[in-house]
Structure 1
Amino acid sequence: MVELILAQGFPGAAELRAQIDFVEVVAQWAEGSVSVDLRVREGAPRSAGASGVIPVDATVVDTSGSLIGEILLWATDGYLSAIEYAWYGDEPPSVLPEPGLIAIEVRS
């Protein structure tokens, strides 16, 4: 899923993609949450200017095509820092969505 989001063409995407092999999950946002904080180990390239939400809309639909959420990929000081699954409904998701259920569009 992270690779799918970072495969899009936006400034700094190549450096963020190169960080994938250096990323580790360091914390869950809450018990049972699929949103996590990330840390990029030493040796990964820094993405100049990447800070805040990565400029890619990654909307999530269910098998019937109804919009159920979105994936937000965060960076801090040029490094991947979090994966957030924001859901639209009463019950939080228990797993991250399959890549085939994610629609991707680079924000302009």
Structure 2
Amino acid sequence: MFPSARYRRFRRDERALLDALLDSQESGFDRLRAQLATASYKAPWFPGSMSFEIHVADGPRYAAADPVPEGEGLIVRAQQVYQPGAEKTDAAVIGNVFLWVTDGIITGLEYAAATDRPPTSLPEPSQLGD
């Protein structure tokens, strides 16, 4: 059952990006992937933003390797974003994506531009760095 009318299901591009960011064998990422089963889109960071908050209704908690103070956010994944179809070089970087976790729960996806232009859409998984 879907949690609340105020949250919505992820769009295809949002879910594809989250899946790509969590496609790792890093310790604890299996717990973060499990959280996506009950996760939903909560709200943009600000009007027009591609960055958004995530609501997780239930799931196992992620445990960071180093202690994090309660209530403090932690970036568990950061990847560069490259121009579509471009070779993955420093000159082709157009931004960065960050996956945020607070108290062991996924809480946000941040897409930060590396240019003067704010992003108007999320990147495709193929645009992410290795």
TM range, normalised to the smaller chain? 0.7 to 0.9
1:23 paired to 2:39: yes
More strand per residue:
1
Deviates more, 1:73-82 or 1:7-16: 7-16
Which structure shows the bigger proportion of residues in helix conformation? 2
- Structure-2 residue corresponding to 1:53: 75
What is aligned with 2:127?
Answer: 101
Q: Does 1:9 align with 2:25?
A: yes
TM-score between the two structures when normalised by the length of structure 2: 0.73
Where does 1:70-85 land on structure 2 (aligned, <5 Å)? 70-85=96-111
Q: Which consecutive unaligned segments of at least 5 residues does structure 2 have?
A: 1-16, 66-72
**How large is the Cα RMSD of the aligned pairs?**
1.5
In structure 2, what residue type is equivalent to 1:78? G
Instruction: Count matched residues.
Output: 102
* Deviation digits for residues 18-67 of structure 1 (CA, Å, limit 9, x no counterpart): 1112111111111110100111003x11112375001x331100033410
Q: Residue 15 of structure 1: SS of its match in structure 2?
A: helix
Q: Distance in 2 between matches of 1:5 and 1:26?
A: 19
Shift of 1:76: 0.5
Tell me, in whole angstroms, the C-alpha distance in 2 between the residues paired with 1:25 and 1:86. 18
Asked if the contact 1:49–1:77 (Cα under 8 Å) also holds between the matched residues in 2, the reply is no
Q: Secondary structure at 2:129's aligned position in 1?
A: strand
Paired AA for residue 59 in structure 1? Q
| TM-score in terms of structure 1 length | 0.86
Q: Secondary structure at the match of 1:48?
A: coil
